[in-house]
Amino acid sequence: MSSTVAPKRSKLATWSWALWDWAEQPYPTIMQTFIFPVYLTSAVAAGIQNADQQLGWATAIAGLLLAVMAPVMGRRSDQNGRRKLWLLINTGILIAVTASSFFIEPKPEYFLFGLVLYGIGSVIQESAFINYYAMLKGVTTEKNIGKVSGLAWGLGYVGGIILLLISLVGFVLPEHPLLGIVKENGLNIRTIFLFSAAWILIFTIPLLLWVPEIEKRAGAKNESILESYRSLFRELGTLRRQAPETFKFLISSAIYRDGLAGIFTFGAVLGTLAFGFTTTSIIFYGIGANVVAAIGAAIGGWLDDKVGSRAVILGSLIGLIAGAIAVFFLRDLGQITFWVFGLLLTLFVGPAQASSRTFVARFTPHGREGEVFGLYQTTGRAVSFLSGTMWALSISVANALHGHGENTIYGIWGIVIILIVGTYLLTRVHPKPAVLDN
């Protein structure tokens, strides 16, 4: 009887883990991208100069804090057997931050409070991912790890689609929003933040109930924060000895993942300024992009288990580079170019993201998953300036050569260069590196 119960429990744990990607989706979709930052820099910051620039500084400070904290946080959860606990704590704080955004009224005196919440939420969400990614190996097998990772990423995209549809149809577009809510004082927008907090809370419950916690590492001692940093630097050398290819992968993925982030960050800008999309068109494009990315993540996850993580990432990066170049050279065809090749870009983003974390999970020494995923987050944050810098530089060069005008389309070359560099470095990483145990 026990032999039949255990697999069911394991399958339930796997699904419960994957569902957290769906659960946390309100934060990147609503709070980081489409609704909260727009509300903050327009309605709340009315009359405040350089509100968008101040939002950028808040993001930069949050990234710096995460870069300092991430490796030690992962290491301490590895040592103390508290990955699930810390994921739940971070999720709880994320719920509180999201719900607290309801109290930010569309008045300038609330702008600073909004920036603080935005920065805290960014740090907490990325911190949560450290332990979430580290749990992947514990809820999968060698045969299905890629499929499960792709499934979870796809669930996240689907959740984003549903959230945007509910927000637009229920609260943003109608003259009379749902539940009898009025639009005065931004109440319809602020209610979306309460809805998002409830979404995170409800869909985190399966992880709370059915995903097991890891055991405390044998012989592990309680460490202070300072001692954790000292131990981390000592063991970085052993990580390079145990898993040198994983170490190299962290470097290459940091670069190309920033290119992936740049595609989403500047995609709406490119569609609006270079192809004349309206705000409504961009929102519908965003929904379509999430649909295509979800399909791509699912297909990529299946291929990951067949051909390996690195092969899926390389294929995706090549597809991204080709699609981005096509957007540039076929721009004279008009909006159809962005609809076709822009969505093609999102098809390849999902598999590249999902298989990147699968690669790390596959080839990380047992018992050091949290530490390595902490480094994974840190290396990505360390070069997070690349896509913005290259985007701006590419447009500046175009302005210098062609004069100031409609040169936004040239920004895509900055993203292409980052992707090419990341792809080259990835070819230097062994597809199935040997990993030594502790």
What percent of the chain stands above pLDDT 90? 32
Please check whether residues 198 and 322 belong to one and the same domain: no
Please check whether residues 177 and 264 belong to one and the same domain: no
Please check whether residues 6 and 68 belong to one and the same domain: yes
Please give the average per-residue pLDDT across 417-430, as a whole number.
Answer: 94
Confidence bin at 321 (pLDDT 50/70/90): very high
Alpha carbon distance 355, 341 (integer Å): 22
Confidence bin at 8 (pLDDT 50/70/90): very low
Please check whether residues 355 and 308 belong to one and the same domain: yes
Choose between 430 and 96: higher pLDDT: 96
* pLDDT at residue 435 in the model: 62
Give per-residue pLDDT as tens, 150-202. Answer: 788 788 888 988 998 998 889 888 888 988 899 899 999 999 999 999 999 99
Alpha carbon distance 345, 326 (integer Å): 10
Alpha carbon distance 78, 82 (integer Å): 7
- CB-CB contact of 75 with 13 (8 Å): no
Give per-residue pLDDT as tens, 200-250. Answer: 999 999 999 999 988 776 666 666 667 767 776 776 677 677 778 877 888
Please check whether residues 297 and 407 belong to one and the same domain: yes
Please check whether residues 170 and 293 belong to one and the same domain: no
Structural domain count, the chain: 2
Domain encompassing residue 419: 244-363+385-431
Please check whether residues 261 and 185 belong to one and the same domain: no
